[in-house]
Chain A
Amino acid sequence: MFGLTLIAVAALGIVFYASARSRAVSLAGDNQQALHSRPNYHGFLAFLVSILAGVAVLVVVWTAWGSFIESRFIAHILEAQPELSPIEVELVLNDARAIAEGGIASRTDALRTQIATEIGSQTQLHHYGTMALALLAAALGGLWCLKSAHLGWRARNRSETVVRRLLLLMAAIAVATTAGIVLSLIFETLNFFNNIDWQIHKFLFGTTWSPLSGVQAGKLDPEKVGAIPLFAGTLLITIIAMLVATPIGLFAAIYLSDFASARVRAWAKPMLEILAGIPTVVYGFFAAITLAPFLRNSGEAVGLSIASESALAAGIVMGIMIIPFISSLSDDVINAVPQSLRDGSYGLGATKAETIRQVVLPAALPGIVSAVLLGISRAVGETMIVVMAAGQGANLTANPLEAVTTVTVQIVMLITGDTEASTAAGPAFTLGFTLFLITLLMNVVAQRIVRKYRETYE
């Protein structure tokens, strides 16, 4: 019904487009230049005004009316059976809806059937009433445009204003969403700190992570929320990943940009970019099923004991995942170093290697540094690989052959575990907020480095 009304409003808008346009044409008569705005703008303005009025009325009336009748049903149910709890009221209402729509209810009794008939009539009224109001608003908006139109009518300026405000609205939605997410992170974090009696140092510097053991009534034990093992695990895996990704990615980029022939480049670069398109969950089970057992077996062969879930396996695979980021971004910045610099160096009798090492790489360095920092941000926030391959126990170690856990893994464990959400959300949000701050800091630093050291070449 909602969708049908939308379509009807849109159809009405198109009708107004056509009529406002032809009205503008007839207003001008033989002298089309007398019109301030082209006929198309007259039409476009009528279209915009009628559609926006219709949609606005539709959305507002639909929700307001809907919640009004719902509150009346709840009042009826409570009138008939005042002893019901809110969840039971909800159940009765759902059953009544199911009966009204001819579905299957959990129970059928007198109250439910009565509410069901009420729902049937009220809903119909709600739907048709809203539709009528929305169409009326759209028609009024369109007619107002038709009536206001005259030779000097600034339809172009007005429609541009409407479009500009619509764009502003969209931008505001994007910004507000971001702000909302950050605010909710901050409030949940404060709530969590409140739950551990503001012993923030216990969270930041404690070494025991087991936040949900022995939890009662939402009160957390400050001794068990030490996040150091998580940060240490994240750091360890990130270091391993960057040790894999930075040299391979950078040297691949140098090869592609300065040594590879056009033909090699034409297929090698897309291949690398395909690597970036592999879902991380695939990397994750590759790490867990292929690489980890291989590492363990080869470790055994040389007398090393490597855990079947190890920081090494997760780090290596994460590094492979990050290679295309580093190589693709570095390749772009190395290519952006002007040919004139290379020519200048060759012209002095420098070899290719000397040119790349002493001229091209220094010129591209800011871009390469920011590529590496972006890679680190990816590594810190990466989840699927570590969930599958790094382990779950909060184990404080610097040994890459043992299982470690990361911030992201613990967030997954907390949210998907069977502790009720209100208790688990606190530590999870706090970890998420910490992660957000680290990534934000890294991105800001990367941008500043790029801006500070960027050489401007024409």
Chain B
Amino acid sequence: MFDDTKSTERVMADDDIKITAKGVDVFYDKTHAIKNVDVDIQNRAVTAFIGPSGCGKSTFLRCLNRMNDTIDICRVTGDIHLDGNDIYAKDVDPVQLRARVGMVFQKPNPFPKSIYDNVAYGPKIHGLAKNKAELDEIVEKSLTRAAIWNEVKDRLDAPGTSLSGGQQQRLCIGRAIATAPEVLLMDEPCSALDPIATAQVEELIDELRQDFTVVIVTHSMQQAARVSQKTAFFHLGDLVEYGETDKIFTNPVDPRTESYITGRIG
């Protein structure tokens, strides 16, 4: 699954696809939230989902690690393959899937535990560390990757909720990295943050694509333009346009995309 030779290879090939979605439909009860969406998500790149509120971009994101399973009335049809394997197949355990496809949420949601335990939570439940020393190392590495280690290394025992909003969000990103996922899903990770914290998280996202496949949902078109290589524009449950970020923002094909990025609808 995790091929070490790839991490040195920085050339992005278009056929290096991590996730393939084909004909995905999502229903909340009777509401048709996602309509026949096809997307190929590139490995080790940042893919941004943009679109107006209620367009289904978050719903679609949550299909990628089967988070929608936790909502009773939600029904997903179609094919989603991770590394060629159907993640909605009967024998796939969503719990194991989510260990490979991590998620960071809109609002920072640190657990009511210490900073250390917040990060150690995932490695502990998945048995990633054989002893305390290894766990310490994972925690330090994850927090360093999340660009927050220097701020919290002296108070790892403090509750995670005592941090500021931006720090909490980076803690949550560190927590997600600690379980060593292959894909990181981010659902509007900066919407509750101020501009400085947003800049820090964006910088972090850009670094993370060296090791992870990142999919980010965002309201902010500037953010999508800054951090992503690929952009998908959703509107009213349809995937309107999907392609290279540069192309979407400079030369969109669909008139709806153009209206949205120029601010006429939204």
Point out residues on A near B: beta carbons under 8 Å.
261-262, 338, 340-351, 354, 358-359, 362-363, 455, 458
Contact = CB atoms under 8 A, between A and B. Distances in A.
Contacts of B70: 342-343, 346
A455 B161 contact: yes
Contacts of B103: 343-344, 347-348
Given A348-B102, A348-B175, A343 B122 contact: no
B147 interface: no
Contact of A363 (B96, B100, B111, B176): B111
Contacts of B104: 347
A-B pairs, 5 with minimum CB distance: A349-B99, A347-B103, A349-B98, A340-B109, A348-B122
B95 interface: yes
Contacts of A343: 67, 70, 103, 105, 109
A344 B111 contact: yes
Interface string B196-225: 000000000000000000000000000000
Given A347-B67, A351-B95, A262 B72 contact: yes
B176 A347 contact: yes
Interface in B72-89: 72
Contacts, number: 78
A344 B95 contact: no
Contacts of B109: 338, 340-341, 343-344
Interface string B98-117: 11101111010111110000
Nearest to A262: B72
Nearest to B97: A349
A262 B67 CA distance: 19
Contacts of A358: 111, 121, 125
Interface residues of B, number: 30
B172 interface: yes
A236 B111 CA distance: 38
B72 A359 contact: no
Contact of A349 (B107, B111, B179): B179
A200 to B, nearest CB: 44
A276 B55 CA distance: 46
A287 to B, nearest CB: 40
A350 B125 contact: yes
B65 interface: yes
A346 B105 contact: no
Interface in B145-189: 161, 172, 175-176, 179, 185
Nearest to A339: B70
B30 interface: no
A341 B107 CA distance: 10
B179 A348 contact: yes
B264 interface: no
Nearest to A364: B112
Contacts of B107: 340, 458
B217 to A, nearest CB: 14
A347 B121 contact: no
Contact of A348 (B110, B112, B113, B176): B176
Contacts of A342: 70
B126 interface: yes
A129 B77 CA distance: 87
Contacts of B110: 344
Nearest to A366: B112
